[in-house]
């Protein structure tokens, strides 16, 4: 705007001098001056618009460089979330988070910038301002005619075919109580991710089966998965080859827009069928039910969709993140009811557990492991499309950057 005003001032001075020139009438101005004025105005507007865009871009970059506290409205929203989470995680209220309090959410050492063995609130808040991971240099693009898996239709069974324990465990309806889900694996395991040494990966904030009593005003509510925060629009990857068995708009769901994949033992190298759920997407995936996907294929974009637990309206305070959940079963059949995929005779699975290279996989046995076996080595895909290990069938749902 200042450049536009300056252009008008310069032209105004020139025009005044021209009207005072000898031989010119003070009461009239030549026609070409009117044309010249219009041309200058158009030029000034054309120049000022891109300059304003450039200024906004530079401002956003400067805000980003300034740190979490100076990143505008979204930044303040994230800092509020970080402050609330910090108070909850800091169990002894000493103003710092120990490794034990962090509970294997991942990346403790990389977040601990000063190396004092604790996380300050500023250090912890950096999980909400992580760089955009997932812009694949060589993305996996489905063919013009996607491969379809016809078994999805034949393996779909009526809800009436489910046993009550399985139904209650997965749907978590109030009438079912919490015992069924806990008996079927929805309980804390204490395991967590350990990323490759030279990989910068996105870690967890809300871990598997953590108590949500501070969010829901109920001591019995636990988190049915794990959340990995990421910038809005970050691509989400299929953790293994598989088949789309469900995609839902989530209009009346706390999970929002979601997609669910089914992975055969051949897809994962595990001795059972695994179902993975990716929720809070920013928009509906382009994939269709029955479509096969490959490991590392982009199946959605990170968002914050889903209704608020208390108001039942679309949430306005949720940070962008993926809600990542998993179930496993020796059976391939599944049912669907009200936007919920229910694998037959299934158990809840800590998503970290699927990355283990051997038994146990069930939550009760995992929770009994000695402390030295609680960290799980995570296979990853880098931005260039390569993986570590090179022959892995499973990867983290976001790409990692090389350090």
pLDDT in tens, the chain (403 residues): 333 333 323 333 333 333 333 333 334 445 545 555 555 544 444 433 332 322 222 233 333 433 444 445 557 777 888 898 999 999 999 999 999 999 999 999 999 999 999 999 999 999 988 776 667 888 888 778 999 999 999 999 999 999 999 999 999 887 787 788 999 999 999 999 999 999 999 999 999 999 887 665 655 689 999 999 999 999 999 999 999 999 999 988 999 999 999 999 999 999 999 999 999 999 999 999 999 999 999 999 999 999 987 788 888 888 999 999 999 999 999 999 999 999 999 999 999 999 999 999 999 999 999 999 999 999 999 999 999 999 999 999 999 999 8
Q: Which DSSP string do the residues of 117-181 spell out, in sequence order?
A: SSB-HHHHHGGGG-------SS-----SS--B-THHHHTB--GGGS-HHHHHHHH--GGG-SHHH
Select from 360, 374, 371 the least CA-distant residue to 194: 374
pLDDT score at 23: 38
Match domain 68-129 to its CATH number in 1.10.8.60, 3.40.50.300, 3.40.190.10, 1.10.238.10: 1.10.238.10
Calculate ∠ Cα 181-291-134, nearest 5°. 80
For 151-402, CATH gives 2.70.70.10
* Sequence-separated (6 or more) residues with CB below 8 Å from residue 186: 169, 209, 222, 224, 348, 363
Mind listing the pLDDT tens digit for each residue in 104-117? 999 999 999 999 99
Adjacent-strand bridge partners of 236: 300
* Sequence-separated (6 or more) residues with CB below 8 Å from residue 244: 152, 259, 260, 261, 285, 287, 288, 289, 290, 291, 292, 293, 299
Q: Which helix (H) or strand (E) holds 59?
A: helix 31-66
């Amino acid at each position: 705007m200042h450049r536009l005003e300056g252009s008008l001032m310069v032209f105004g001075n020139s025009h005044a001098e021209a009207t005072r020139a000898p031989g010119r009438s003070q009461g009239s101005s030549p026609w070409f001056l009117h044309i010249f004025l219009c041309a200058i105005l158009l030029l000034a507007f054309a120049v000022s618009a891109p300059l304003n865009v450039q200024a906004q871009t530079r401002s956003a970059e400067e805000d980003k460089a300034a740190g979490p506290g100076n990143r505008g409205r979204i930044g303040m929203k994230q800092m509020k979330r970080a402050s609330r989470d910090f108070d909850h995680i800091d169990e002894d209220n000493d103003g710092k988070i120990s490794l034990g309090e962090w509970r294997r959410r991942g990346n403790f050492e990389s977040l601990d910038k000063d190396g004092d063995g604790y996380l300050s609130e500023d250090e912890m808040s950096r999980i909400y301002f992580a760089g955009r991971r997932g812009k694949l240099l060589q993305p996996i693009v489905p063919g013009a005619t996607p491969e379809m898996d016809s078994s999805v239709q034949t393996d779909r069974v009526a809800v009436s075919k489910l046993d009550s324990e399985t139904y209650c465990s997965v749907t978590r309806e109030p009438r079912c109580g919490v015992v069924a889900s806990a008996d079927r694996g929805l309980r804390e395991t204490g395991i967590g991710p350990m990323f490759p040494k030279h990989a910068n990966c996105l870690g967890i904030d809300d871990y598997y089966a953590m108590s949500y009593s501070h969010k829901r005003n109920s001591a019995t509510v636990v988190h049915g998965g794990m959340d990995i925060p990421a910038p809005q629009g970050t691509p989400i990857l299929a953790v293994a080859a598989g088949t789309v068995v469900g995609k839902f708009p989530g209009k009346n769901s706390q999970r929002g827009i979601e997609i669910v994949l089914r992975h055969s033992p051949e897809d994962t190298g595990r001795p059972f069928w695994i179902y993975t759920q990716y929720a809070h997407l920013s928009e509906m995936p382009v994939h269709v039910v029955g479509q096969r996907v490959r490991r590392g294929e982009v199946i959605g974009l990170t968002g914050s969709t889903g209704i608020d637990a208390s108001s039942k309206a679309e949430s306005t305070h949720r940070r962008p993140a993926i809600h990542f959940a998993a179930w496993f079963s020796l059976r391939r059949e599944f049912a669907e009811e009200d936007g919920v995929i229910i694998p037959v005779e299934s158990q809840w699975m800590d998503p970290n557990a699927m990355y283990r290279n051997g038994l146990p996989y069930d939550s009760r046995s995992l929770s009994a492991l000695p402390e030295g076996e609680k960290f799980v080595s995570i296979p990853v895909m880098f931005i260039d499309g390569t993986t570590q290990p090179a022959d892995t069938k499973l990867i983290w749902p976001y790409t990692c950057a090389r350090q």
